[in-house]
Every structure is written in structure tokens, then in C-alpha cells.
């Protein structure tokens, strides 16, 4: 039943997206920032409805740790398609996600993602991947946050996949804060019993901000593993909350 409700909602949203995207385009002619902010509000409402229909029950921890007046590099583990809506509805900053390039094949979804400053990563082309990281750096410099899952793919094992160090160049080159994000039990919403969607308790925790410039030399050299260890500690701590 939940699957049917979600499919119907997505179809309805895609239909009403056509006039909404036209309005957002007009807003963008006058102010790019206003278009990003307006589009993010629309996406947040859509995600909140999606999570409600899916029966997702969230416990949100550490939201007070997120700096409110500066761009951020969010670094998260990745277990589910639902990681994005669960995370996005809790972000206080204008934020674009780093997504795999295959999503660009979905026209309306691609349009909304571009509106909220999402970036598309080619995981098989190192040169194109570097260009995307450079785009993310420029995006942070322009005042927009970036959300990255450095494992590179959804992972359903107990242990996380190694974090790709290139993801952290965004913070190293801009000096922006890194906010670790730990997502617990999100694959129980869909992936663990695909194609069905089940009401599920999930936990999302935002860790304290990390500024690369404040770290010692040795820690900077292993920044990826350092942040991953922090996320692992949060995941271990929150395992009993679901």
C-alpha cells in the first residue's frame, strides 16, 4: 500500500512540476539565489510528504551543531535512496547533493536537482570527477553547501566502505566546515525488502563541525578516515535507537 501511495505521489509531483519549473525559471531570471531558495523549499515539502507516506519515523540528533550562516561540506554514510530525503528536510543551509551522473537521464528530476545546485559525478572518469570536485569548490565559495557520500555507492554491510579522499578537497581548498552525518537503519525503509516500502524508525545525527585549518598535520593527511571514524562512533551509539 505504501509503495502505491509513493508512486502516485511521485506521478502527481512530476505533473505539477511542469508549471512550477516554469515559475522557478522566471524567478531565476531575476535572482539565481532566490530560485535556489525557492526550489529548495518546494523539494523539502515534497520530501516531507514522501517520508510521511512511506511511514518514516525520524529521530534527529545534533542539528544544533550545524553552522547556520556559512556554506558547509556535509559528509555522510550511504545506505539507501531514502538517505537524501531524510537528510534534506533537516538541512538549514542551501545545499546541493553530489549525485551519480546516471540520474541526469531523468528529465524532471534532473531539472529540480540543477535548481538546488546538485552536481553530477562520473565515477568512471577520473578527469570528469575532478571537474565535478572543482565545481563543488566553486559552489562553496559562492555560498552554497554541498552534501557528499564518500563511500561512492549505497552500502548495506555493517562496516562502511572506505571514504574517497577526493571528496574532502572541497573543505581543504575552501576552509569550510565539515559536518559529519550518520544515517542509521535507512535501508530498512526500502532496500532490505525491495520493492516494498515499510514504516521504519531511522536516526540521523549531525556531528560537530570540523574545520580542516584547525587540525594538526597528521590528521589533515588522513582527513577521510578521521571523519569516517567520527561517523562510525555515531552509528555505533545510535544502533540501539531503532
The pLDDT score that the predictor gives to residue 235 is 95
Find all residues with CB under 8 Å of 218, minimum gap 6, and list them: none
Write down all domains in the chain, each with its CATH number in brackets. 57-241 (3.40.1130.10)
Q: In whole angstroms, what is the distance from residue 195 CA to residue 215 CA?
A: 44
The pLDDT score that the predictor gives to residue 164 is 84
Residues 51, 195, 56, CA angle at the centre, nearest 5°?
A: 20
Does residue 159 have a pLDDT over 90? no
Does residue 16 have a pLDDT over 90? yes
Decide if 235 contacts 195 (C-beta within 8 A).
no
Distances from the Cα of 152 to the Cαs of 65, 99, 122, in angstroms?
25, 9, 11
Specify which residues 180 forms β-bridges with.
75
Q: What is the pTM of this model?
A: 0.93
Could you tell me the sign of the dihedral formed by the alpha carbons of 231, 235, 237, 242, in that order? Answer: positive
**Tens digit of pLDDT for each residue in 93-112?**
999 999 888 888 888 899 99
Burial class (CB in 10 A: 0-12, 13-18, 19+), 194: exposed
Q: State mean pLDDT over 42-58.
A: 96
The pLDDT score that the predictor gives to residue 228 is 95
Q: In whole angstroms, what is the distance from residue 85 CA to residue 142 CA?
A: 24
* DSSP secondary structure letter of residue 210: B
In DSSP notation, 57-111 reads EEEEE-GGGS-SSS-EEEEE----TTHHHHHHTT--S-EEEEEEGGGGGSHHHHH
Decide if 135 contacts 144 (C-beta within 8 A).
no
In DSSP notation, 161-187 reads PPPPGGGGHHHHHH-PEEEEEEEESGG
Does residue 157 have a pLDDT over 80? no
Does residue 126 have a pLDDT over 80? no
Decide if 165 contacts 61 (C-beta within 8 A).
no
Q: In whole angstroms, what is the distance from residue 239 CA to residue 209 CA?
A: 22
Does residue 163 have a pLDDT over 90? no
Decide if 99 contacts 119 (C-beta within 8 A).
yes
The percentage of the chain sitting over the pLDDT mark of 90, rounded to a whole number, equals: 73
Does residue 155 have a pLDDT over 80? no
Does residue 128 have a pLDDT over 90? no
Question: pLDDT confidence of 116, banded at 50, 70, 90?
Answer: very high
Does residue 156 have a pLDDT over 80? no
The pLDDT score that the predictor gives to residue 187 is 93
Q: Which residue has the cell 555505533?
A: 236
Find all residues with CB under 8 Å of 34, minimum gap 6, and list them: 27, 28
Question: pLDDT confidence of 221, banded at 50, 70, 90?
Answer: confident
Decide if 204 contacts 235 (C-beta within 8 A).
no
Helix (H/G/I), strand (E/B), else coil: 217: helix
The pLDDT score that the predictor gives to residue 238 is 95
Amino acid at each position: 500500500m505504501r509503495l502505491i501511495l509513493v508512486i502516485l505521489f511521485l506521478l502527481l509531483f512530476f505533473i505539477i512540476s511542469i508549471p512550477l519549473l516554469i515559475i522557478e525559471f522566471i524567478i531565476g531570471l531575476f535572482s539565481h539565489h532566490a530560485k535556489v531558495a525557492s526550489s529548495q523549499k518546494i523539494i523539502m515539502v515534497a520530501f516531507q510528504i514522501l517520508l510521511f507516506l512511506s511511514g518514516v519515523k525520524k529521530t534527529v540528533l545534533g542539528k544544533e551543531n550545524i553552522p547556520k550562516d556559512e556554506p558547509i561540506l556535509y559528509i555522510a554514510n550511504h545506505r539507501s535512496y531514502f538517505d537524501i530525503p531524510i537528510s534534506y528536510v533537516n538541512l538549514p543551509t542551501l545545499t546541493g547533493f553530489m549525485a551519480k551522473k546516471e540520474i541526469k537521464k531523468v528529465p524532471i528530476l534532473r531539472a529540480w536537482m540543477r535548481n538546488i545546485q546538485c552536481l553530477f559525478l562520473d565515477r568512471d572518469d577520473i578527469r570528469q570527477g575532478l571537474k565535478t570536485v572543482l565545481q563543488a569548490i566553486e559552489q562553496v565559495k559562492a555560498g552554497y553547501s554541498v552534501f557528499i557520500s564518500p563511500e561512492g555507492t549505497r552500502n548495506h554491510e555493517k562496516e562502511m566502505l572506505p571514504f574517497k579522499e577526493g571528496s574532502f578537497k572541497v573543505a581543504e581548498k575552501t576552509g569550510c566546515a565539515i559536518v559529519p552525518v550518520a544515517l542509521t537503519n535507512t535501508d530498512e525503509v526500502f532496500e532490505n525488502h525491495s520493492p516494498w516500502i515499510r514504516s521504519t524508525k531511522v536516526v540521523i545525527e549531525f556531528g560537530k563541525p570540523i574545520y580542516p585549518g584547525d587540525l594538526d598535520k597528521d590528521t589533515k593527511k588522513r582527513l577521510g578516515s578521521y571523519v569516517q571514524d567520527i561517523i562510525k562512533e555515531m552509528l555505533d551509539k545510535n544502533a540501539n535507537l531503532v
